[in-house]
A and B are shown apart, each in its own frame.
Chain A
């Protein structure tokens, strides 16, 4: 008798193993690949989601897929806040919105300038959005970047994610952004997204990609300005995010440019407070290999190499200086997180003056010390495509 009871009980528990109420089927879910925030009238927010279309996904894997059929669809809706807008948006989508694969969040420029704190709270608080998703700011309307159907990837969100992982611009995840705004400097930099003009041969104007061009600068939760692609490179140096980088520079002896790739760098920020003067020494140690040499100099010659090294140092210093001029003196926003460096070295001093950091930062004196060395000449020694006699050898 008790045997029967035991067997019945274990059979009943097996039924519960399927996970009770929270069973979800893949065909009931709408995979969101990106979410965009735009400003709408009456102080409302417009949210746009990009959903991958399940049927064409399998087909896309085989034989390159046809570029003409879109593999994603976008839907947008307005609301008083993000959650409100998204709940209204659910009415237009037959499947339940699923956040697990959403790795791209884009803020429209207008929203970014008005302040993103309330929207950003949703990204941090919602249990299903992911902290590792990347954040972007679109120059213009964010939803436009999602409407594109790129020829080479499944979705424009995928394009942005892959571009970010190539580390060509600043790379900021939701969690990192949250830390930047909570940290000592309360400033952040996000990559700026533009839309590449479609090639004239494209049948559909949407057949293009969004790409990263420049950086949006945030003070607290508001975007205060943007910096150009050129200055962004200087910012990357200061943030020690240089990896597999390319540098092209002139030298004082003769015409022509030299290009180095990959360039590796190690950047150290050394803070110092002397009385009332705050000084930051930026120590850069960088090495690179020559991949193109349009000058007449033979890099295997120690004397000539010294000239090239000097030009290399000068180029890196200029890059950093241009970025500093823009960020430190024009935008006056500490996206390099100098604040934390000072805080760590001078905790007591920092406590006293942290409220005045906005005034102090533009006045911080920055010394740049670059140690740059060209390590290898590539596969050839004297400049290629000409007789060795015509080159400068000493």
Chain B
């Protein structure tokens, strides 16, 4: 049994940057490419998947209290299938951590530290994350409590852009029907399904009865923040949103109040670093934790740094350029939601059916 040293509130705060960190920078442009000026609707649609994944994580945890995805999937699917699924899941989580680290470093190198080698940027971030992960889930939670405000505040600084915003850009609403919006929702769904990672934190939560409430609050704030960021890029950049690699970077650069408050992108960089620190740490924590439980190791301290190195390697391997990273994101459209939403859904259905049968059998044997 794990120590229960995480409060539900801390978990909610931890999930906010874990889901949002890369999303607010990448999603406006990705969703604008298909949904055009209806991009603000995409995150609202995608949040339903977030709702579903949180519900599933809680239901599964109710059925198998104190257990993580790794443990109960073995019990639900049987030893062989369960182990196989967790292997795929581990591969996914390590690969995703690699991609996130790479995305983080690409942004830093492409816009700020032009001369610093990307390996250095990635390795130092992973080193920091690995140290945090070694400190355990409580350390992660405390980091999240400290850093999340720093992560949120710069979003409000974007309000300085109000004189440059043109709210008319939102019209005409849904002129091409709902299909482009659904297509645009595909990417936010990837981010929203990351909420399933709470299944790894739930066994540690000391007040599980509040867990649901804080998870939903976390989901709501993520949806609101993403919609806010989407609307802001639309109002500022209009038809140009889909053409920018980082619309929010442009937004921060565009701030100019009285020729004094200018060149604010350093704030975005600060926000990007703390947000991604939490995100990568959470992913690395999940990877370390699932590997430990998968192999039934007694301690996870020995595997943290090796897995960290593996994440850096995965972030460099097979990702020769940013265009390939974009391609892989599209591939992730299928892999990630199926790992984090579809298979858990199957797990839940099997588990519920089984529970029903055992209670039925129990009743009939009486």
Contact = CB atoms under 8 A, between A and B. Distances in A.
A182 B120 CA distance: 38
Interface in B109-123: 110-117, 120
A343 interface: yes
B253 interface: yes
A347 interface: yes
B172 interface: yes
Instruction: Label chain A's interface by main secondary structure.
Output: helix
Interface string B74-114: 00000000000000000000000000000000000011111
Given A22-B114, A100-B263, A344-B168, A131 B238 contact: no
Contact of B254 (A20, A131, A347): A131
B364 interface: no
A130 B175 CA distance: 33
Contacts of B250: 131, 175
In this complex, the member of A100, A344, A345 whose beta carbon has the largest number of chain B beta carbons within 10 angstroms is: A344
A345 B262 CA distance: 36
A132 B116 contact: no
Given A175-B254, A179-B238, A183-B238, A347 B113 contact: no
A178 B240 contact: yes
A21 B239 contact: no
Contacts of B124: 16
Contacts of B239: 179, 182-184
A66 B256 CA distance: 31
Contacts of A199: none
Given A20-B120, A131-B253, A344 B113 contact: no
B274 interface: no
B237 A22 contact: no
Interface in B311-341: none
Interface string A6-29: 000000000010011110000000
A344 B116 contact: no
A247 B116 CA distance: 57
A363 B116 CA distance: 57
A275 interface: no
B168 A182 contact: no
A22 B116 contact: yes
Interface residues on A, range: 20 to 34
B253 A21 contact: no
Contacts of B206: none
A348 B175 contact: yes
A127 interface: yes
Contacts of B171: 344
A175 B256 contact: no
B240 A130 contact: no
Contact of A182 (B114, B240, B256): B240
Contacts of B168: 340, 344
Interface residues of B, number: 26
A31 B129 CA distance: 38
B243 interface: yes
B237 A127 contact: no
Contact of B113 (A20, A131, A132, A340): A20
A345 B254 CA distance: 29
B172 A343 contact: yes
Interface string B234-260: 001111100100000010011010000
Nearest to B116: A21
A122 to B, nearest CB: 15
Contacts of B115: 21-22
Interface string A153-193: 00000000000000000000001001100111000000000
Contacts of A179: 237-240
B109 to A, nearest CB: 10
A283 to B, nearest CB: 15
B240 A132 contact: no
Interface string A304-348: 000000000000000000000000000000000000100111011
Contacts of B243: 178, 182
A348 B115 CA distance: 50
A21 B172 contact: no
A127 B111 contact: yes
B113 A19 contact: yes
A22 B124 CA distance: 16
A32 B311 CA distance: 41
Contact of B237 (A20, A175, A184, A351): A175
A183 B238 CA distance: 8
A127 B113 contact: no
Nearest to A346: B172
A336 B253 CA distance: 27
Contacts of A19: 113
B120 A344 contact: no
B132 to A, nearest CB: 15
A221 B60 CA distance: 58
Contacts of A21: 113, 115-117
A20 B253 contact: no
A260 to B, nearest CB: 25
Nearest to B244: A124
Interface in A361-394: none
Contacts of A130: 253
A344 B254 contact: no
Contact of A344 (B114, B172, B240): B172
Contacts of A178: 240, 243
A22 B175 contact: no
A184 B171 CA distance: 13
Contacts of A175: 236-237, 240, 250, 254
Nearest to A182: B239
Contacts of B238: 179, 182-183
A59 B110 CA distance: 37
Nearest to A341: B168
Contacts of A20: 113, 116, 120
A29 B238 CA distance: 35
Given A22-B114, A179-B238, A182-B238, 18 more contacts: A20-B120, A22-B113, A22-B115, A22-B116, A127-B111, A131-B253, A132-B253, A132-B254, A175-B236, A178-B240, A178-B243, A182-B240, A182-B243, A183-B238, A340-B168, A344-B172, A345-B172, A347-B175
15 contacts: A19-B113, A20-B116, A21-B116, A22-B113, A22-B115, A175-B254, A178-B243, A179-B237, A182-B239, A184-B239, A343-B172, A344-B171, A345-B172, A347-B172, A347-B175
10 pairs of A and B residues whose beta carbons are closest in the complex? A347-B175, A347-B172, A21-B115, A344-B171, A21-B116, A22-B113, A182-B239, A179-B238, A179-B240, A127-B111
